[in-house]
Amino acid sequence: MSVKTQIARQIILSIALFSLAGQLAWAVENQYYNLFMYNVITPEPIYVSIMVALSTIVGTIATIIMGAFSDVKGKRKPLLLYGFIFWSITTAIFPLSAGFIGISTEVAIFIAILFDAIMTFFGAMALNAGLNAYITDMTNLDNRGKVTSIAQMMVMVALLIVNGVGGILITALGYYTFFFIVGGLVLVLGLIGNLQIQESPDLTPLEIKTFSQIRKTFRKENLKEYKDFFVVLIVITTWQIGLNIFYPFLMIYLQHNIGFSILTASILIFIALLSSIVLAYPLGILTDKIGRKRMTFIAAILFGVSLFTFGFFTDITMLLILGSIWATFYLGISISTFSWAKDLYPEENRGEFSGYWNLFSGTIPMVIGPLIGGWLATAFGIYKLIEGNWGYVPTSLIFFVSGIVILLTIIPLYFAKEASID
């Protein structure tokens, strides 16, 4: 990209629309897919962990291959267009996994995991490969934090929408209608975003095949050149493992441990997220001003401590206050580290390197984190009857362990280096 720091409003709008569409789908997958599996199919936390782990593996493979494909072709728009169309369809049909007459619980579990994996393929293609590379194409070191804050703000807006109306819609209309509505929103927003998109003028096709492009990355001399990038990815992996220990089980914890209804739990998360969104853009400006490393350090400390403290309380007021704090600094560490990783993408490998970003920010932590959380919920959880079935309910231990892991981010952070302005 050129040295200009101003970005056209049309581009900002397309990034916001794509981000909102994709994050709506991810928000539903990250919470309500898990809740559907637990409440409708089987109340066994380990199957939630398996579903999260397998789907994110699929997501990373899709991001690397489709991202490299877009680098080679010199185009992001096809990934965004076709990715969002099929993403919306696969989001809408997820509850059909439990809707086949006469199937056993085991078959329903298999179908749910399969549907989640297919949905994740198209989501990774559109958002993780297409949009992440597009944001990097259209920004530079001076403005990437601010633009990333807009994308991350949409994460919180999507969580706000899903948690704000999710419980209401599920209570009033059921899971099936809820998933169809979300799928429709993803489609509409994705298509409008595609109308606004402009390909980067600096993006040109490469005279190489997709898999040759991927193999080239792993030559010894290239790996040495990308060392700083991979150190930053280790920073991201550490705090993301902490996040994923508790987050897939958050709604389950609030409903079945604290005793809130789905509606009350959704409203609690809604208010916590709403308070954090106000600070999203200022956090992006601050990240560009004070630097990625300093912002990451501040956010990691406050995220970890507030999350650890969250586990001590059952009172709704304190849960709201602490939830607002950890949600804000989750946003802060996301903006700083995701901007940092994009700063270090090689110019001709931005789509492909979005896949490696996804491996360290998604796959590895979403395999390790939920498995730790699922094990903690099973080994130290409360065994009780849940809607006619016996299962394990997670305890506050998941928040204590999560907070400690997030604080460990400062260890790899010490070795991480920021990109310099050319």
Q: What is the pTM of this model?
A: 0.79
Indicate whether 122 belongs to any domain.
Answer: yes
pLDDT-based confidence at residue 410 (cuts at 50, 70, 90): very high
Domain that holds residue 163: 9-197+219-415
Phi/psi for 100 (5° steps) reads: -80, 130
Q: Which amino acid, 56? A: T
Query: In the prediction, which pLDDT does 141 show?
Result: 83
Q: Is residue 202 part of a domain?
A: no
Q: Is residue 206 a part of any domain in this protein?
A: no
Beta bridge partners of 129: none
pLDDT in tens, 85-133: 999 999 999 988 887 666 888 999 999 999 999 999 999 999 989 998 9
Please check whether residue 405 lies inside any domain of the structure.
yes
Note whether residue 209 is domain-resident.
no
Tens digits of residue pLDDT in 328-374? 999 999 999 999 999 998 888 888 988 898 889 988 998 899 889 98
N- to C-terminal Cα separation, the chain: 12
Least confident of 208-217, 262-271, 383-392, 403-412: 383-392
**CB-neighbour burial class of residue 74 (10 A; exposed 0-12, middle 13-18, buried 19+):** middle
Collapse the DSSP code of 324 into the 3-class scheme (helix H, G, I; strand E, B; otherwise coil) and give the result.
helix
Find out whether 175 and 183 touch, Cβ atoms under 8 Å: no
> Quick one: which of 344, 127, 340, 370 has its CA closest to 236?
340
Residue 205 domain flag: no
Quick one: CA dihedral 51, 52, 57, 59, positive or negative? positive
DSSP 227-293: HHHHHHHHHHHHHHHHHHHHGGGHHHHIIIII---HHHHHHHHHHHHHHHHTTHHHHHHHHHHH-HH
Domain count across the chain: 1
What integer pLDDT is reported at residue 324 of this predicted model?
94
Does a structural domain hold residue 421?
no
CATH of the domain at 284: 1.20.1250.20
Q: How far is CA 270 from the centre of its chain?
A: 17
Q: Is residue 355 part of a domain?
A: yes
